[in-house]
Amino acid sequence: MQTPMNPTVSAPQGKPLASVLRFFQVFESVGVLAMLLIVVVAMSIINPVYLNLNNVVNIVITASIISVVGMGMTMAVAMGGLDLSVGSIQALTACVAASLLDTTNIPLTIVGTLLLGMLIGMLNGAIISRLRVPAFVATLGMMSILRGAALLFTDGQSILIMGHDDFARLNTGRLLGIPVPFIIALITLAAFYILLKHTPFGRHVCAIGGNENAALATGLKIGRTRVLVFGLVGLSAALSGIMLSAQLLIVDGTLGTGLELQAIAVTVLGGTSLAGGSGNLPGTLLGSLLVAAISSAMNILRVPPFYQYLALGLLLILALALDALRRTLVKRAMMGEA
């Protein structure tokens, strides 16, 4: 309070701000990694089965499927948005992919399913930007609509994927010893990373997330950017739907319940702030590995499945609390009260 208003605030207050920011930068890159290491080391001591190649591959595959959706979600959060409909999109696209397999070939199935997911996502974006409905309610409504669509599409039945060994290889295959799902996740990471950090589009996304009014005043095409970002979320959810159907080989309209929670959790765990304005995509991948490692640990320890919801919920609240703390500290440092 007694410090005089200073036009060059950053100079005298640079020190606390820098140290706060450095702490969180270090935490963002190392914190999740440290938690991951703790889980892995603790589990390998408690039960060596945890480090079996099979189990590690399973963890990586589960993480890859979550991380693909998580990266889409990270783009939306960076733009100051949110998509609660990803679980329903995953269910619908997984069912569509399973039934397309029987009528066409694999490449067409994949392209068609991804296109469907992208269009659904763009519809989300159009509802949000044209009807001016807050993202979380619009996608909450779409979550219900698409869940109904998935159940109607399958008529409440399961769809078996049989006799498509090449499709199953999307899950079981290896390339240079690396599981294919992980390669898909890495390619998605690279593509989204380039989009977010090295294109005008990505800068617009962060600008809208940072300050929508300023972005509007600068003349950015907010509506179009928003439609495209939600299109990307839909695309990533559809990709995860394909990966999931290749893993399960039996799909139904109830898949993906609670996926929105996982996707948001890995995004926030990875260090993307809900305040918007930036996205940490590699962090999202690490966050997914952590969530998958914890869930595998709980399976091996024979913890009943509902404890996993508890763990995920608590993990999310913890990550959100850290995010809130970071925002408060950064704000305080910038105001010069640190």
Partner 1 sequence: MSSTMTNVSETPEARPRSPLYWLRYSITQYTIQWLLLIVVIILSLANTNFRQPANLLSVLLQASFAGIGAAGMTLIIINGAFDLSVAGILGLCGVVLGLVLPSIGIVPSILLALVVGVLLGVVNGLVVTKVRVPAFIATLGMMYIYLAIGFIITNGQVVPVTDASFRSLGTGNLLGLPIPFLIMIVTYVVLYGVLNFTTYGRFIRAVGSNPTASRVAGIPVDNVQIFAFALVGLCTALAGVALTAYLSSAQPNMATGYELRVIAAAVVGGTSLKGGQGTLFGTFTGALFFTVINNALNLFNVGAYWQYVAVGLIIITALGLEALRHRFAPASRG
Residue selected from 3, 6, 44, 144 as contacting partner 1 according to rule CB under 8 A:
144
Kindly state the number of chain residues that form the binding site for partner 1, as judged by CB under 8 A: 47
14 binding partner 1? (CB under 8 A): no
Residue selected from 111, 137, 214, 335 as contacting partner 1 according to rule CB under 8 A:
137
Distance between CA atoms of residues 255 and 90, nearest Å: 7
158 binding partner 1? (CB under 8 A): no
Report CA dihedral (290, 295, 301, 304) to the nearest 10 degrees.
Answer: 150
148 binding partner 1? (CB under 8 A): yes
Shortest Cβ 205–partner 1 spacing (Å): 19
From 102-110, 134-142, 204-212, 218-226, span contacting partner 1 (CB under 8 A): 134-142
Residue selected from 20, 159, 316, 333 as contacting partner 1 according to rule CB under 8 A:
316
Distance between CA atoms of residues 141 and 164, nearest Å: 35
Shortest Cβ 148–partner 1 spacing (Å): 3
Shortest Cβ 249–partner 1 spacing (Å): 24
Residue selected from 64, 147, 207, 280 as contacting partner 1 according to rule CB under 8 A:
147
Residue selected from 111, 194, 321, 335 as contacting partner 1 according to rule CB under 8 A:
321
Distance between CA atoms of residues 151 and 145, nearest Å: 10
330 binding partner 1? (CB under 8 A): no
Cα 29 to the center of its chain, rounded Å: 17
Shortest Cβ 314–partner 1 spacing (Å): 7
255-259: long-range pairs with CB below 8 Å, 24+: 255/87, 255/90, 255/91, 255/94, 255/95, 255/150, 256/86, 256/87, 256/88, 256/89, 256/90, 256/91, 256/94, 257/87, 258/87, 258/309, 259/66, 259/69, 259/86, 259/87, 259/90
Instruction: Centre a 10 Å sphere on the Cβ of residue 317 and count the other Cβ atoms it contains.
Output: 12
314 binding partner 1? (CB under 8 A): yes
Per the structure block, which two tokens stand in for 216?
Answer: 């509007």
Per the structure block, which two tokens stand in for 60?
Answer: 């990586």
Kindly identify the residues of this chain, within the stretch 54-113, that bind partner 1 according to CB under 8 A.
Answer: 82, 84
Percentages helix, strand, coil for the chain, rounded to the nearest 5?
A: 75, 0, 20
310 binding partner 1? (CB under 8 A): yes
115 binding partner 1? (CB under 8 A): no
152 binding partner 1? (CB under 8 A): yes
Residue selected from 261, 298, 300, 334 as contacting partner 1 according to rule CB under 8 A:
261
Phi, psi (degrees; rounded to nearest 5) at 175: -125, 120
User: In the complex, which residues of this chain contact partner 1 (CB under 8 A)?
Assistant: 82, 84, 127, 131-134, 136-138, 140-149, 151-152, 156, 253, 258, 260-261, 264-265, 274, 304, 306-310, 312-314, 316-317, 320-321, 323-324, 327-328
